[in-house]
A and B are shown apart, each in its own frame.
Chain A
């Protein structure tokens, strides 16, 4: 093969030059399902021309557990632990999204304190999910140190989750009609204390990455997604906003009292991997802002809807001392929370994007059909478009920047 000096132009002209000058054979490369940058069990079948990707075919389903089939066979409350395992980096936020969907079906409003608790845990889940996402993304692009910083902070958050829910990962904290229990004593002060020491660490991570020459070179103008493409492929969450589309369900269709809190929605301009990094970085700070506001203004009151006699089981003391409450608790546990017939679709702005639940109920405690719209599933569907023309090493940056979780992609 004749050697020829190739000009280091942009990717497109480089690949065009390859085609003209050399006869190259295409090569098929399997990336995943167990590859460090495919974060779980995503498998990409890549067709390569040299180092340039010419075709990308994602293979899903390695983590398919049939969550929707399972949901049709159990009561709404029994399904709550399964929602932990969708986006397993933010189980608290998944629990809330599911509870809100079912409550919408029941036409149930939860008290202000319960709403505030839910907003608080959703934002904490967002911070922990973004911390892992950013750390892993930076590690994939070669900046190993950042992961240590973000993981340390995430660990502190998990300690707080453990104090609140009793579990670190699979929290199952919300119930239909409330949350599992009230906040533990002095927990809110600990949250504030965490936020106060956490914000300087965010600045430190910022300083490590934002102007880091290697990181910027690996991510800037790589994997550019235009606003139209992002909408057409159904992208949501930070990935959509990085492409310049100002869509945030917390602002546009406020739920659980998000309208009371003051926060900004960061929007990207280019839609490249670097923008997606910047958006997540800023979202962490905005979530911290929301958390501070919630802690300051958290109302007194009940953490569950008291009037929902057929939905939320009564407290243990009441069950043990009163016949009527005993029957009520027994009925809810065995038959499930009683829902009217009807159809609802509810989406919540989760760390990865809009997590949606479509429920068709024929009445009773079990859904007739429950469809989960996993944001990662939709976010990954753009891969065959965005990877074509990129270098093989760029695929790693693109995957990291899309920040997906296979649990909710395969369900």
Chain B
């Protein structure tokens, strides 16, 4: 059933190309046809539930970002993955599908928050998980796992305490063999960043 549906979809929409997938049918859609494609999928193919929308950062490749959408049909119980490559690496943006699926609202806000991909015509494109003045997009590949030094969001607290948000220690993993030479049996594998550990206090 899966294969049948996909070949029909590809035949009737020649701008779509098949995408490698280990499970559900998946297609690549060019960015300029994405809204048209989404409308058709919703109206003519019964994909009424947008289960997930997110992005992938390909880092050193171009186009750098892809938007990934997972659609589900509550009638035929079929999943479909649509991937839209975003050509602009510097100021990535995709047309928003909030007008079709209300669920896209928060998913797109999250993708904007985490990747800095803008969604055109989104009614309220604000950060959702991080605070509004946060300067980075944490799921971009160049963002370090430990985080960056950042100012606290609340000005009053910032003035009062004078502490910034400091990077988290990596003591919780991923684990690596200790950099310091010594007897192996006395060196447990530990976090690569040891600026803050049981012995050393949290730097201010």
Contacts and interface: CB of A to CB of B under 8 A. Distances in A.
Do chains A and B interact in one complex?
yes
A234 B51 contact: yes
Interface in B48-63: 48-52, 54, 56-57
A253 B22 CA distance: 16
B101 interface: yes
A245 B73 CA distance: 12
Contacts of A382: 102
A218 interface: no
Contacts of B110: 377
A343 interface: yes
Contact of B103 (A347, A358, A378): A378
A233 interface: yes
Given A345-B23, A410-B129, A358 B49 contact: no
Interface string B124-165: 000111110000001100010100000000000000000000
A64 B48 CA distance: 29
A73 B170 CA distance: 11
Q: Which of B23, B26, B127 has the most CB of A within 10 A?
A: B23
Interface in A42-88: 60-61, 64, 66, 68-70, 73-74, 78
A22 interface: no
A342 interface: yes
Given A253-B77, A342-B21, A356-B70, A61 B130 contact: yes
A167 to B, nearest CB: 18
B74 A61 contact: no
Nearest to A101: B23
Given A61-B130, A73-B174, A252-B77, A234 B103 contact: yes
Q: Which of A70, A231, A340 has the most CB of B within 10 A?
A: A231
Contacts of A345: 23-24, 52, 70, 79, 81
A381 B70 contact: no
A54 to B, nearest CB: 17
Given A69-B145, A231-B48, A231-B74, A343 B129 contact: no
A247 B68 CA distance: 23
B36 interface: no
B52 A74 contact: no
Interface string A355-396: 010101000000011010100011001100100000000000
A247 B127 CA distance: 31
Q: Which of B101, B103, B105 has the most CB of A within 10 A?
A: B103
Contacts of A229: 102
A253 B49 CA distance: 15
B20 A342 contact: yes
Interface string A95-107: 0000000001101
B131 A61 contact: yes
B103 A233 contact: yes
B173 interface: yes
Interface string B70-92: 10001001010100000000000
Contacts of B130: 61, 64
Contacts of A69: 138-139, 143, 145
Nearest to A378: B103
A131 B36 CA distance: 45
Contacts of B127: 61
B81 to A, nearest CB: 6
A247 B75 CA distance: 9
Contacts of B196: none
A315 to B, nearest CB: 23
A7 interface: no
Contacts of B143: 69
A346 interface: yes
A397 interface: no
Interface in B101-117: 101-103, 105-107, 110, 114
A72 to B, nearest CB: 8
Contacts of A231: 48-49, 74
B52 A356 contact: yes
A78 B54 contact: no
A322 interface: no
Contacts of A356: 51-52, 70
Interface string A222-239: 000000010111101000
Contacts of B19: 343
Given A61-B129, A253-B77, A381-B106, A354 B51 contact: yes
A344 interface: yes
Contacts of B139: 68-69
Contacts of B70: 345, 356, 358, 373
Contacts of A342: 20-22
Contacts of A343: 19-23, 26, 81
Given A60-B128, A343-B20, A346-B23, A377 B106 contact: yes
Contacts of B107: 234
Interface of B: 19-24, 26, 48-52, 54, 56-57, 68, 70, 74, 77, 79, 81, 101-103, 105-107, 110, 114, 127-131, 138-139, 143, 145, 173-174
5 contacts: A61-B128, A105-B22, A344-B23, A354-B51, A369-B57
Q: Ordered nearest first, which 6 A-B pairs have the shortest CB separation? A: A234-B103, A342-B22, A61-B129, A252-B77, A381-B106, A232-B102
Given A68-B114, A70-B145, A231-B48, 4 more contacts: A69-B139, A247-B74, A345-B81, A371-B52
